[in-house]
Chains A and B, each alone.
Chain A
Amino acid sequence: MQDVKEFRPKIVAFCCNWCSYAGADLAGSARLSYPADVKIIRVPCSCRVNPMFILRAFQRGADGVIMAGCHPGDCHYTSGNYFARRRMTLLFSMLDYLGIERERTRVEWISAAEGAKFSKTMNEFVDTITALGENKRLEDLRCKK
């Protein structure tokens, strides 16, 4: 009997403690579903996300990485997400320049009140990555089982 495994992507979501993480919580309380393929990593601020984190996530087997933070202007630390936005803009542009599919990385601003947006974004993102397939261009075979 042939065992055909369905491809399930691994998604890493860096969520800001003050907005998107609470947004995910709200999505949960409101019984809005989003795929279990999304693994949330809580960070104190979107600005905490070092470009190395994104690359490391891909190395350890992520197929897509999404960073979610407070809406510009609403940062708990006043300006963290503005700096993060500049950094991610440059990093994503560079990944695109190196030929890594631009759909694999994404930034979304989700507030604590936007549980529905959280669930919608994650559903969309998982669909995109499932369509793209496995991450081959930034993989590290030593980290694959």
Chain B
Amino acid sequence: MQKMMEKRALELLGDGTVNRVLGWSAGDFIYDVTPAVFKTAEEVQDKFLYNDFCGANLSKYLVKESRKEGKILVFLKPCDTYSFNQLIAEHRIIRENIYAIGVECFGKADEEKLRAKGITGITGIEMKDGTYTVHTVYGDETVKAYEVMADRCLSCKSKKHVAYDELLGSEGEVVEDCNRFDMVEKLEAMTPDERYEFWRGELSRCIRCNACRNICPACTCEQCVFDNPNSGVSQKAAVNSFEENMFHIIRAFHVAGRCTDCGECSRVCPQHIPLHLLNRKFIKDVNTFYGEYQAGENPEAKPPLGKYEKNDIEPGEAGGAKA
């Protein structure tokens, strides 16, 4: 796959269709892959990388990149194409300046899960028939994919590319039976006290690094409400449980109805807070109350919080006190 992608990138750079390539390159190690913009053929040959650690969603970088001179080539995994579509719907990226190539994805490996299995010193990874072959400095290891795959990939909602100019590999299909709401349902079944305890345990670890906000492809405001110096919460660590709760409720609320469930928030959280559970709760609520809606599937669709029905459910029936 990497060879094919590299070849196409070089061709498109060579014939002048694009003047930059947005892709992934290795960080200090092969598993801490970082997004990168390549400007020359040499850079692509030297640094371009695509492997089973390339989890980063590149669509958000296009907000800035698509406003620069010339066309940019971007590689999008299926879940990234939903974010891409959503950004088009919100007029946040300029489609004409982008050449999008869809790439197949069968789920990305989680380095921490590999480490937990005692696999360290990783120098490479390959996937074949649901099994990863991990090359390490101590020799090769094989491991079943589902054992070390990132959680968000285990409940992948769709392997279908919803937007692209060109495809490498197959178009893929929506995963009907993804069970992504299992954990939300489990929480809903708990008593309020148990839920409160659960979330206190999770959210109290928050260090307010803002990584979840910065990575989120739906959070693209030029000035964020959390950067407002008068808000009392700008650029500082949460000092008590209220601020933790407020930050996470408002963060999730601001992307309600627009979140495509790409799972980047949980991936980047240094404290491993399952932030996607907040977003999924909103997605689930929107689905139950206002009909099935998948953000990013169709850029023409109206967002659920931007429209209404006369016979919508009353708040008292959903979560507040009954009237």
Contact = CB atoms under 8 A, between A and B. Distances in A.
B253 A138 contact: no
A94 B305 contact: no
Contact of B196 (A52, A72, A100, A142): A100
B304 A51 contact: no
Given A51-B249, A100-B196, A102-B319, A79 B286 contact: no
Interface stretch (A12-20, A25-33, A103-111): A103-111
A130 to B, nearest CB: 14
B196 A87 contact: no
A14 B196 CA distance: 26
B315 to A, nearest CB: 4
Contacts of A82: 308-310, 312
B219 interface: no
Contacts of A87: 305
A107 B240 contact: no
Contacts of B240: 140-142
A86 B304 contact: yes
B320 A97 contact: no
A140 B243 contact: yes
A51 B250 contact: yes
A96 interface: yes
A55 interface: yes
Given A89-B315, A92-B318, A99 B246 contact: no
A128 B322 CA distance: 11
Nearest to B225: A52
Contact of A94 (B243, B249, B316): B249
B249 A86 contact: no
Contacts of B305: 83, 86-87, 90
A141 B241 CA distance: 9
A97 to B, nearest CB: 5
B282 A106 contact: no
Contacts of B194: 99
Contact of A93 (B196, B285, B309, B310): B285
Interface centre among B188, B239, B245 (most CB of A within 10 A): B245
A95 interface: yes
Nearest to A56: B246
B: contact size bracket: 35 or more
A6 to B, nearest CB: 23
B252 interface: yes
SS class of chain A's interface: helix, strand, loop or mixed? helix
Nearest to A91: B253
A142 B278 CA distance: 26
A73 B193 CA distance: 37
B243 to A, nearest CB: 7
A73 B304 CA distance: 19
Contacts of B252: 94
Contacts of B323: 106-108
A1 interface: no
A3 B282 CA distance: 46
B310 A90 contact: no
B197 A90 contact: no
24 contacts: A52-B250, A55-B246, A55-B250, A59-B246, A72-B312, A79-B308, A86-B312, A87-B305, A89-B285, A89-B314, A89-B318, A90-B318, A92-B319, A92-B320, A93-B318, A94-B278, A96-B320, A97-B281, A101-B192, A105-B315, A106-B316, A107-B323, A137-B196, A140-B242
Given A94-B253, A96-B320, 16 more contacts: A51-B249, A55-B249, A83-B305, A83-B308, A88-B315, A90-B253, A94-B249, A95-B249, A97-B281, A99-B193, A99-B196, A100-B196, A103-B321, A105-B315, A137-B196, A141-B240
